[in-house]
Amino acid sequence: MVQTVNMNKDGEVNLVERELPELEKGAVLLKTSFSEVCGTDVHLRKGQLAGVPYPIIPGHVSTGTIEKINGEVSDIDGNALAIGDPITFLDVHETCNDCWYCLVAKTSTRCPQRKVYGITYSAEDGLLGGWSQYIYLKPGVKIIKFSDAKYLKSFIGAGCGLPTAIHAIQRSSIKLGDTVAIQGSGPVGLMAAFCAKLSGAFQVIMLGAPAHRLDIAKEFGIDQIINIDEYNPTVRVEKVLELTSQKGADVTIEATGVPSAVKEGLTMTRDGGTYTIVGQYTNAGDVQLNPHLDINKKHVTIKGSWGSDLSHFYLAVKLVEQYADSYPFLNIISDEYSLNQIADALDDVENLRVMKAIINPNK
Amino acid sequence: MVQTVNMNKDGEVNLVERELPELEKGAVLLKTSFSEVCGTDVHLRKGQLAGVPYPIIPGHVSTGTIEKINGEVSDIDGNALAIGDPITFLDVHETCNDCWYCLVAKTSTRCPQRKVYGITYSAEDGLLGGWSQYIYLKPGVKIIKFSDAKYLKSFIGAGCGLPTAIHAIQRSSIKLGDTVAIQGSGPVGLMAAFCAKLSGAFQVIMLGAPAHRLDIAKEFGIDQIINIDEYNPTVRVEKVLELTSQKGADVTIEATGVPSAVKEGLTMTRDGGTYTIVGQYTNAGDVQLNPHLDINKKHVTIKGSWGSDLSHFYLAVKLVEQYADSYPFLNIISDEYSLNQIADALDDVENLRVMKAIINPNK
Amino acid sequence: MVQTVNMNKDGEVNLVERELPELEKGAVLLKTSFSEVCGTDVHLRKGQLAGVPYPIIPGHVSTGTIEKINGEVSDIDGNALAIGDPITFLDVHETCNDCWYCLVAKTSTRCPQRKVYGITYSAEDGLLGGWSQYIYLKPGVKIIKFSDAKYLKSFIGAGCGLPTAIHAIQRSSIKLGDTVAIQGSGPVGLMAAFCAKLSGAFQVIMLGAPAHRLDIAKEFGIDQIINIDEYNPTVRVEKVLELTSQKGADVTIEATGVPSAVKEGLTMTRDGGTYTIVGQYTNAGDVQLNPHLDINKKHVTIKGSWGSDLSHFYLAVKLVEQYADSYPFLNIISDEYSLNQIADALDDVENLRVMKAIINPNK
Amino acid sequence: MVQTVNMNKDGEVNLVERELPELEKGAVLLKTSFSEVCGTDVHLRKGQLAGVPYPIIPGHVSTGTIEKINGEVSDIDGNALAIGDPITFLDVHETCNDCWYCLVAKTSTRCPQRKVYGITYSAEDGLLGGWSQYIYLKPGVKIIKFSDAKYLKSFIGAGCGLPTAIHAIQRSSIKLGDTVAIQGSGPVGLMAAFCAKLSGAFQVIMLGAPAHRLDIAKEFGIDQIINIDEYNPTVRVEKVLELTSQKGADVTIEATGVPSAVKEGLTMTRDGGTYTIVGQYTNAGDVQLNPHLDINKKHVTIKGSWGSDLSHFYLAVKLVEQYADSYPFLNIISDEYSLNQIADALDDVENLRVMKAIINPNK
């Protein structure tokens, strides 16, 4: 029997036991090493996402070791997988590769057919979420193998924030020498700031809170930190202008989820610069913009960045393998929770008491 | 003596006589063939632009024939200019080519030093506006020669809307096969629609009014016309969705000057598409946007497009030479006004009674 | 029984009868309307492609009407297909969507798993080529439906040259106002020239032969024609320079298959321009280039363009639907051959006696 | 009196005394801190550049402190300059900002009017080269001020190779996670490798010689070093393939000046990758390429990168200010020569005995 967590429509989470499934040809059974609690899971508990088939087993990004394989299955690099291999997999599944969005517009994160582990599957569909001792990888799920089992934990430290941030970074076209401002110091903001630094920015400015999150940003080498608990929006913008010879940031990336951040972020971006919006994952209301001052006269480029695809996920794995030995990915993890501590984990994430809460279902 | 029009701070326009100037070395005296009245001139009359040194001689884009040259002066192609040559010139002058915006950011339309004929020069500075029988071209003003004098008038038919539209088109990255929606049927909207068609769009949809402007759009081969006097915003968006298999336009270009158009325009743009804002030339207030629905989830790219530089102006001349024989550029011109009909011309433009009012100062 | 053409290793072509196949779930049986003979088929007859499992049924791009469907099958726009529908399909099949090239590098035309109808399938594998009265569309083959059956023939007039040309055009980033030189007047060159014109080029110069091909280019509105039978390479380059104020073409597209064309083409391209190579489909030997003069000092961008994917194929269908009523796509077709005239068709293509030879297997 | 070095047509270098010039309005007199001997100077001694008005004062990139100013002169950031300020200046002067290349094609490094300190000025034209105790900065020369005088020397350590490398890096569009191969370990290759690393490459492979140059590359953190003195071209390519899962480098940058490097470099670049040619500064002969295998089938992008403009130069200054305290820019400087050791300096550079020879004219 396998222990899993079910989340109901009203946000309740319960421990539920289920049978281990039979494997179809091409399927893989994963023994979960780590899963995560991300902001989306808080939204799921509050019922803020449409069309979720509760009860579900939450947990979209997870790592683990292979327990069983039916037939020959390869990772994305074409290597045959074996029992015991340390892996992760793309939670977004069944992007159709058969529709106009996937094949003509090449915007697969807008494909209407996409399914997501831990979000769009019902608990009745099988072990299709990470808050479970085992995860069932359906045939065709994209698997990436780690070069070493030690990355199973550091990868979850970065979590789903890393591929999301990588997508935003690619949309932002950062150039060598740029100043990049990051609004937000949660996992997406932190990873975006780190990737901006890696991508050639000479100065990365983070605007966020609370203090314990900003401390981790400092450990990742972020150049300038502005604690938004200490300054009002006007002063924050002035501080960014001071750091940029009164020009504003070349690139600003929004990772807050707060609509008013968009006005503030555009104001701190330079004429001809780029503003990328990646944090508005759920509908939190409107913002007032002045199209003349904020967009047209500023000659700015604004980019929405939605979700991530396999390329971002693959790069996230490579990035963790490249940098987790020299940067404190494990420090992002505030606490490790067992399956029966899930309610606490959700509370801690919701109240920003932790940077990243991870789940160890076999603890 | 030369007849010119002066516009005062309170919006009054008077006929004023001035001396013909001596030419500095490298300067050119132009006998004005045509100048135009554009939306900016209406804003100037209302005092809506900051820092204008009234009284001014309005008229930024103009054509004419060379009356006098002091020394050797060449056009942008390197050809020596001669008395009688039919030419136009870039109204934006003294872009410094010496500052961070010009040389590092390469965003010369945001250069703080730029001067503009007909806007930023006082009438006391000389014949530096087009509503005058003669125009003084200072040394260094960029000149483009027409291959034939017949284009002196058709170029003014397109007017300053053409380089503005070309810049917006370049920012929009239209691809072969795209559907492009254009909001606005004034000179910028019309020229943007025409350039979208030329750039490979299979379907160009114009949303505008009044009917006489839409008739000209039809003459330019615009595929679909939606008269905004006949439909409310919700229905307009539905019509664009119907024309695009419910996806929305690949590219939408805003050329209205109305803030609420921005919300409507984003709604009619497809996921992963591009929305270019070029019509918000003056501050007409705010618009409410939903960052989640309108930008982030839509994975859209929004681009502000400010002003135009020599490259857009040069291409505008080439485009008129290429197409003015087969497309009705002259039909854009509703009426030709003399210098003492300027007040009427301004009224007609302000009340949308005309598509394009042009000035013939030597009429 | 079904009539098909088999091509052997030694280039022989024979009429062979085969059974109509049973359909797997998701498969479609197509009654062939038209297939084509393209340059690749000539290479196949000469054994110039590696790894071809002779005997094969050649014919990669084909159109037809649906004879049978097993289960529900949709076209790429998501519409359910029905008996009698006029369609075409992407010959490139089973691009894996599961490897690094497909998912990380997003260069699916270099995916090692790709299979191609009419090339990489043996005749023993089934009716997997277009020179056959019926074609078996395996489950997962990407299908595009025509809005009208009249396009079944005009689409084959354009043939596989059109998606190939569209890919090259997209790689070339043609901008409004460009001069584009096209080397080669075969189907790829003709379609590239037409697409360049549609994409905003003000001047398209075609360099090709023989005269009957150039006549069709004129019918497609190509601005300038240089018959390479009349001028040596030096003179050809001079002629392009004359047409471009001695600067050279902004974009040059190679569609010849002749290595020496690359040197000539770079020489006729302007400093800072783009040179796209799409015609070197098989190994025809080396060319001598001077890296200093031809590339580095010229500050040029050179792009190889290999194959085409669904997005190019989809756009090809839309383009034919958009323009086949006003442009002479049917005139590209020099002759229509039955299955027992295949050897003649191959001879005619090889000797450039025809622009495009098409096959009507049910004639 | 000022000591300068004159180089004659036959390559001789002599110490020549000249008068200190009067300053025009807007001119600046620079007391030279350091100038450099770069590969171009070796080419100049051999008479391999066309149109050089010998005798010249060589030395194009130099640093110094301001000795005299006539009038108000600002640096590129708009700050007024003062006596004693530590500065550098763009050697490329009088890019016209008035021609088609500068203003329409925006390819100012191909502007026919550009003049270069130390190359295109005769010694009779004034102190217009860096191998001189003083340098005359003509009005309009673009000046950049260092934040600290300590960078006067580290900037020359990087030398003209840094802006050249930055231009090549920008042309190469390096993305986070790329593997970048650099052919050549001279100043351009070293700086390109360093900039590739800064731009997000996870792996930078340098192929060069001799050993002392490779040692400096290691100090700059280059990941993989292949000594070309130890391996033939076939083995070098194999080594790059081994380091890239047999795919080849995502981006390869040529900085060798040897034509045969182009064939080798294309072979080590992955399908769909980018190959940038920046080292072919003079005509060193031809190379044989196979357009099918090397370009078309590979679906590769090849970019020539010529010269550098103010934006690259400005970024070079910022980069030195950012990194010279933590990376060994001073170690690039093998030796510091006085004006009467110039012949030795040229010999040492020509024979690759040094990485970078710098000139201290006031030593």
List pLDDT tens digits, range C31-69: 999 999 988 899 999 998 888 999 999 999 999 999 999
How many CB atoms are located within 10 Å of the residue D235 CB? 11
Task: Please enumerate in sequence order all residues whose Cβ is within 8 A of that of C12, keeping only pairs 6 or more positions apart, or say none.
Answer: none
Residue A300: name the closest of A261, A235, A249 by CA: A249
Residue A167 sits in the same domain as residue A106? no
**Mean pLDDT on D260-287:** 97
The answer to whether residue C222 scores a pLDDT higher than 90 is yes
Domain end: C304, C324, C346, which one? Answer: C304
Task: Output the pLDDT for position A94.
Answer: 60
Residue B34 sits in the same domain as residue B114? yes
**And the tokens for B155?**
């170029």
Q: Smallest Cβ distance to C200: which of B77, B199, B245?
A: B199
The answer to whether residue C342 scores a pLDDT higher than 90 is yes
Q: Smallest Cβ distance to B176: which of C169, C177, C202?
A: C169
CA distance A340 to chain D (A): 38
Phi then psi dihedrals of residue B41, to 5 deg: -65, -35
Task: Output the pLDDT for position D110.
Answer: 77
Residue B19 sits in the same domain as residue B155? yes
Residue A129 sits in the same domain as residue A10? yes
Q: Smallest Cβ distance to C76: which of A99, A140, A314?
A: A99
**Mean pLDDT on C171-187:** 97
d(CA B244, CA B241): 5
Number of domains in chain A: 2
Contacts of D315 in chain B (CB under 8 A): 104
**Mean pLDDT on B97-106:** 78
Is D295's CB within 8 Å of C277's CB? Answer: yes
Q: Which pLDDT tens digit goes with each residue over A140-178?
A: 899 999 999 999 999 999 999 999 999 999 999 999 999
Name the one residue in this structure whose structure tokens are 């994975």: B299
Q: Which pLDDT tens digit goes with each residue over C255-312?
A: 999 999 999 999 999 999 999 999 999 999 999 999 999 999 999 999 999 988 889 9
The answer to whether residue C94 scores a pLDDT higher than 70 is no
Q: Smallest Cβ distance to D169: which of A170, A176, A318?
A: A176
d(CA B282, CA C69): 59
Contacts of C311 in chain A (CB under 8 A): 103-104, 106
**Mean pLDDT on C196-223:** 97
CA distance A17 to chain D (A): 41
Residue C250: name the closest of C228, C269, C236 by CA: C269
Phi then psi dihedrals of residue A89, to 5 deg: -145, 155
Interface residue of C195, C198, C223, C313 to substitute, partner B, most B CBs within 10 Å = C198
Residue A7 sits in the same domain as residue A109? yes
Task: Output the pLDDT for position A205.
Answer: 98
CA distance A39 to chain C (A): 27
Q: Which pLDDT tens digit goes with each residue over C305-338?
A: 998 888 999 999 999 999 999 999 999 998 899 9
- CATH number for the domain harbouring residue C185: 3.40.50.720
How many CB atoms are located within 10 Å of the residue C363 CB? 12
d(CA D88, CA D163): 13
**DSSP SS3 for A173:** coil
Give the dihedral sign, CA D184/D190/D191/D194: positive
Residue C271: name the closest of D256, D108, D273 by CA: D108
Residue C89 sits in the same domain as residue C133? yes
Domain end: C304, C328, C350, which one? Answer: C304
Interface residue of A145, A172, A198 to substitute, partner D, most D CBs within 10 Å = A198
Interface residues of A toward D, Cβ cutoff 8 Å, are 77, 166, 169-170, 175-177, 195, 198-200, 202, 245, 315, 318-319, 322
Nearest CA in chain D to B310: D103
Residue A354: name the closest of A339, A335, A326 by CA: A335
Q: Is residue D257 part of a domain?
A: yes
* Whole-number average pLDDT of chain A: 94
Q: Is residue D335 part of a domain?
A: yes
Task: Please enumerate in sequence order all residues whose Cβ is within 8 A of that of B246, keeping only pairs 6 or more positions apart, or say none.
Answer: none
Is B318's CB within 8 Å of C170's CB? Answer: no
**DSSP SS3 for B360:** coil
Is A314's CB within 8 Å of C99's CB? Answer: no
Q: How many helices (H) and strands (E) does chain B have?
A: 10, 18
A160-196 in b/e form (b: 16+ CB < 10 A) is bbbbbbbbbbbbbbbbbbbbbbbbbbbbbbbbbbbbb
Task: Please enumerate in sequence order all residues whose Cβ is within 8 A of that of A224, keeping only pairs 6 or more positions apart, or say none.
Answer: A203, A204, A205, A206, A243
CA distance B321 to chain C (A): 10
Q: Is there a contact between D100 and B77 (Cβ–Cβ < 8 Å)? A: yes
Q: Is residue D145 part of a domain?
A: yes
Residue C69 sits in the same domain as residue C139? yes
How many CB atoms are located within 10 Å of the residue C12 CB? 12
Residue D13 sits in the same domain as residue D139? yes
Contacts of A169 in chain D (CB under 8 A): 176
Q: Is there a contact between B146 and B152 (Cβ–Cβ < 8 Å)? A: yes
Strand partners of residue A88: A63, A144
Q: Is residue A215 part of a domain?
A: yes
The answer to whether residue A102 scores a pLDDT higher than 90 is no
Residue D126 sits in the same domain as residue D245? no
Lowest-confidence region among A334-338, B33-37, D100-104? D100-104
Q: Is residue A315 part of a domain?
A: no
Give, as one character, the DSSP assignment of residue B329.
Answer: G
How much of chain A, in percent, has pLDDT values that exceed 70? 99
**Mean pLDDT on A1-24:** 94
Contacts of C142 in chain A (CB under 8 A): 98, 103
**Mean pLDDT on D246-268:** 97
Size of interface C-D (CB pairs under 8 A): 132
Q: Is residue D12 part of a domain?
A: yes
Q: How many residues are there in chain A?
A: 363
Residue B8 sits in the same domain as residue B153? yes
Is B177's CB within 8 Å of C202's CB? Answer: no
The answer to whether residue A98 scores a pLDDT higher than 80 is no
Is B289's CB within 8 Å of A286's CB? Answer: yes
Is D101's CB within 8 Å of C299's CB? Answer: no
Q: Is residue A27 part of a domain?
A: yes
Residue C291 sits in the same domain as residue C335? no
Q: Is residue A331 part of a domain?
A: yes
The answer to whether residue C113 scores a pLDDT higher than 80 is no
* Interface predicted TM-score (ipTM): 0.95
pLDDT band at B94 (very low <50, low <70, confident <90, very high): low
Is C106's CB within 8 Å of A311's CB? Answer: yes
Domain that holds residue C272: 162-304
pLDDT band at D95 (very low <50, low <70, confident <90, very high): low
Half-sphere exposure of C130 (CA within 13 A, CB side): 30
The answer to whether residue D50 scores a pLDDT higher than 90 is no
Contacts of D169 in chain A (CB under 8 A): 176
- CATH number for the domain harbouring residue D82: 3.90.180.10
Segment holding B347, helix H or strand E:
helix B342-350
Residue B117: name the closest of B160, B84, B69, B147 by CA: B160
Task: Output the pLDDT for position A299.
Answer: 96
Segment holding C235, helix H or strand E:
helix C233-242
pLDDT band at B54 (very low <50, low <70, confident <90, very high): very high
What subunits touch chain D, counting only 3 or more CB pairs under 8 A? A, B, C
pLDDT band at D91 (very low <50, low <70, confident <90, very high): confident
Q: Which pLDDT tens digit goes with each residue over B262-297?
A: 999 999 999 999 999 999 999 999 999 999 999 999
Domain end: C304, C323, C338, which one? Answer: C304
Residue A171 sits in the same domain as residue A286? yes
